[in-house]
Structure 1
């Protein structure tokens, strides 16, 4: 048994039948945080549109191009120490045109494997406010999955390598605008 299993907050966080005594809210455990577009995207959110096209600038759910820059939406996993699961961010990475073309080749009638590449993180991540423009590597995945990101150095790389605590996870959610901590302290 992990020490995390002894934390009553963790048990409440993962019990979808429990209702918070102050608001009635239920929780079902770890959830991911995604991003509609790179932070620098100048044309607003995509919302329910398949593609936002403004002149030569374009944004869909997986790729973005504007001002001669190219971006891919990726997955950046963070293991949670003591848990069998991880939390993932769904940020964008600024990459070269060659990397976008290699990723585009994973689609279509004759898909090719994505060999990965290098880039820069294109979103500031809550809990890692200095993370925007962090150097990252993109790992190839199956054609049905977004590339996996790994930070090359800094706090984000350390968190990916060593995992985050449950308290750090709650801090990330709070920094993203959803402070669950008060709802997990009492029955």
Structure 2
């Protein structure tokens, strides 16, 4: 976590958490979801605005964590911005040598490989569960064919409970009161 974030937490410890405003899609892209977007549906049905500012994305990724309930968040100064997940907390990118890096650039060593009912391939690593990026499925298939990874068949719906992550922290929050008319 950035030092400036730690300082802000110490200075303002009781800032309310933010839900529904940030999403991570199955390709490792971040989306900002304003009130209007949230009103049109849950993530990823209503994705919002694709974040493209590299320094902002780097800041989010450096301060990306999870709480004891398995809800992933971005610590934005004193405020936690909980993340809506499309597929998993991590999106893996593969190198030509079958090295694995997270969408945020962290190198990991996978300990298991999972294949869901839709043919999506996941890897388990010390930092958590992640989905193989669609652009890297060819390399992933090579790794499986070479016996580097042996996929275990799973149901995608079972993965959050099995790996302890929450797909939609916003869904567990009380409904917002209607705006005064």
TM over 0.5: no
Scaled by the length of structure 1, the TM-score of the pair is 0.26
TM-score w.r.t. the length of structure 2 is 0.26
